[in-house]
Each structure stands twice: as C-alpha cells, then as structure tokens.
Amino acid sequence: MNIPDELKERIKTAKNVAVFTGAGISAESGIPTFRGKDGIWNKFRPEELANFDAFIKNPELVWEWYNHRRKIISETKPNNGHFAIKELENIFDDVRVITQNVDNLHKRAGSKAIYELHGNIEKNFCIKCKKRFDFIELIESDKLLKCDCGGLIRPGVVWFGEMLPEKVFAEAENFARKTDLFFIVGTSAVVYPAALMPIYAKESGSYLIEINIEATEITYSVHHSFFGQSGEVLPELLEKIKLILTGE
Ligand code: BV8
Ligand code: ZN
C-alpha cells in the first residue's frame, strides 16, 4: 500500500480524525449494502419501503422488512474494518465516527464517539405518543406491534423525506469542520444531507481519504483513494500509520 507523502505529513501532525461510514463497511460482516449488486434495494426501492407513507400504507410489509434486517444484523458481528477504526482512538487525540449505518456495528466494535446520522435499527418509537421501545426482542414478534396508546410502533431510523436528528447532525458537522484527517469508508455518497459531511471537512482544510471497492461520487473530490475491501485496507492502513508515527 503506497502512502502519498502529503498524507504521511498530515498523519504526523493529525489530532482530530473523523471516519464517515456507509453500508460498505458492514458488507464484509454479511449485511447487504443498499445499492450494490446484492443490495437490499434491488428487491425493494427506497421509495417503496424506507419512508413514512410506505409505513402508513403497508405497515406490515415495512415492519417485516426491518425485522428481516434486524435478524441479519443480529447474526453478524463487526469486521476488521470496524475494529481498525476503533483502534485509531489509541493513536490520535480525538477520533469520532460519523455513520449513515443503522446496524450498531461501530458501537459493538467498541468505538467510543459515534454520530448516528440515520438513527439505529434497534431503536423504535410509537408514532402517536413517541414513547420509546428500544431493544424490544422484536425478532420473535414478526407481527406489527402497537403501543398501549394504540399507536403503531416504528423503527427509530431516519426515512427518506425525514429530517436527520438535528443535534447529532450539528455536532457531527462541527467536528467534521475541526478534523485534520477525514476518512470516507464504504459509502456511495449519494444520500443527502449526510453526504455533505466530507464537503464540510474539505472546506475546513481537512485531508480526505476514501476507502471503497470502486470509484464513487466523492472520488473526484478526495485527496487520496485506497481501492479495496475496507476490512482489509483499514487494518493495513492502521499498521502503516503506526510505522509513520514511530518514524520507521
Ligand atoms: C431529507 C435509514 C428533507 C433507513 C437511510 C434528489 C437529489 C438529492 C437529494 C434528494 C433528491 N431527492 C430526495 C433527496 C433527499 C434524500 C436523498 O438524498 N435521496 C437520494 C437517494 C437521492 N434524502 C432524504 O430524504 C433525507 N432527508 O432530505 O429530508 C427534509 C428537509 C427539511 C425538512 C424535512 C425533510 C433522509 C435520508 C436518510 C434515508 N435513510 N437509512 C434505513 O436504513 O432503512 S439512507 C440509506 O442510504 C442508509 O442509511 C445508507 O447508509 C445510506 C447511504 O447509502 P450508503 O451507506 O452509501 O450505501 P450504498 O449501498 O449506497 O453504498 C455502499 C458503498 O460501499 C458503495 O460505494 C460500495 O462500492 C461500497 N462497498 C461495498 N462493499 C465494500 C465497499 N466499500 C469498502 N469495502 C467493502 N467491502
Ligand atoms: Zn403510544
């Protein structure tokens, strides 16, 4: 793996590091991506399921789809890419994950600072009284669940057409603007406003590093891309960073 000289210099002085992730980082854990060839969207289109109207029109189908995804997630575990990101915390002063993923794998890998821009599939709430129903053992109950107020219980994820959690977004943006290094891992960078994060970082002088199996919408605007599986590239990059910092 070749590290450009400018990146070597940036690594030596970096303090604040963000890792912006998408579905691709969880692919090697066995969770299908959204738009890849085995993407979950291939069977359904976002417009069909990941939006509030679809849930009101056909709550059983949408609930079943999320339960299906929860089942997949419950059988997976973080991969070497997630663990390498966690390990960055031992190298740089302030490392934070800004994720679009709802699968909880960064938390299970031990990352301490995570901004979940699109919510979390294990969180649920009543659409009427907003009561939270986190970590229900939903997997047994394929059937739709109702709150004691009679309202439908929905997944605590951000659907298309919905606002992202304002405080989380603002804090993630604020940190992105303070970073020295900004990693972009396993995302097609087509979903907004999350895809603004790398732009905020670049505007503020951060060095952008993409890790993906192929070129994406963001490739033309990053400083350097490493093409390969994130579960392989990230651990290798971590070792290189350690060597650079020990002067070898
Ligand atoms: C909002 C939670 C408005 C739910 C998700 C036209 C143009 C621009 C924008 C829009 C538009 N029309 C509508 C919009 C807005 C829309 C949007 O951006 N649409 C896109 C599709 C065009 N955005 C919204 O609706 C957002 N809300 O705008 O609200 C508003 C404003 C004011 C007031 C009220 C409302 C809400 C967006 C959030 C949607 N929710 N998820 C759920 O999960 O079910 S989005 C969903 O996509 C996931 O969160 C996912 O993470 C995210 C992004 O996808 P990726 O993570 O990038 O995944 P993808 O499969 O695309 O790519 C995987 C990548 O990994 C690929 O590049 C692949 O090469 C790579 N890869 C694969 N394997 C590996 C790998 N890389 C490395 N290693 C590997 N092994
Ligand atoms: Zn309720």
The first and second tokens of residue 119, run together, are 């919510």
Residues 174-194 have pLDDT tens digits of 999 999 999 999 999 999 999
CA of 131 to the centre of ligand 2 (A): 6
**The one-letter amino acid at 6:** E
Residue 36 in this model has a pLDDT that exceeds 90 = no
Query: Is 223 close to ligand 1, i.e. is its CB under 6 Å away?
Result: no
3-state class (DSSP) for residue 181 = strand
**Residues constituting the chain:** 248
> Which residues, in sequence order, are bridge partners of residue 17?
95, 181
Phi, psi of 175 (to 5 degrees): -70, -40
Residue 38 in this model has a pLDDT that exceeds 90 = no
* CA 66 and chain centroid, separation: 17
Residues 118-156 have pLDDT tens digits of 999 989 999 999 999 886 655 456 677 889 999 999 999
Can you tell me the distance from the alpha carbon of 198 to that of 203, in angstroms, rounded to the nearest whole number?
A: 9
CA of 9 to the centre of ligand 1 (A): 33
pLDDT of amino acid 140: 52
CA of 59 to the centre of ligand 1 (A): 22
CA of 101 to the centre of ligand 1 (A): 9
Residue 48 in this model has a pLDDT that exceeds 90 = no
Mutation to probe ligand 1, out of 31, 34, 45, 237 (largest number of atoms < 8 A from CB): 34
- According to DSSP, the β-strands at 207-212 and 224-227 are parallel
pTM for the whole structure: 0.95
Query: Is 139 close to ligand 1, i.e. is its CB under 6 Å away?
Result: no
Can you tell me the distance from the alpha carbon of 25 to that of 98, in angstroms, rounded to the nearest whole number?
A: 12
> Roughly what angle, to the nearest 10 degrees, separates helices 230-245 and 80-88?
30
The first and second tokens of residue 103, run together, are 């699968």
Mutation to probe ligand 1, out of 40, 160, 217, 220 (largest number of atoms < 8 A from CB): 160
Query: Is 213 close to ligand 1, i.e. is its CB under 6 Å away?
Result: yes
Q: Which residue minimizes the CA distance to atom 37 of ligand 1?
A: 160
Query: Is 30 close to ligand 1, i.e. is its CB under 6 Å away?
Result: no
Query: Is 229 close to ligand 1, i.e. is its CB under 6 Å away?
Result: yes
**Which of the residues are catalytic?**
118
20-24, 47-51, 155-159: which has the minimum mean pLDDT? 47-51
Nearest atom within ligand 1 for CA of residue 188: 67
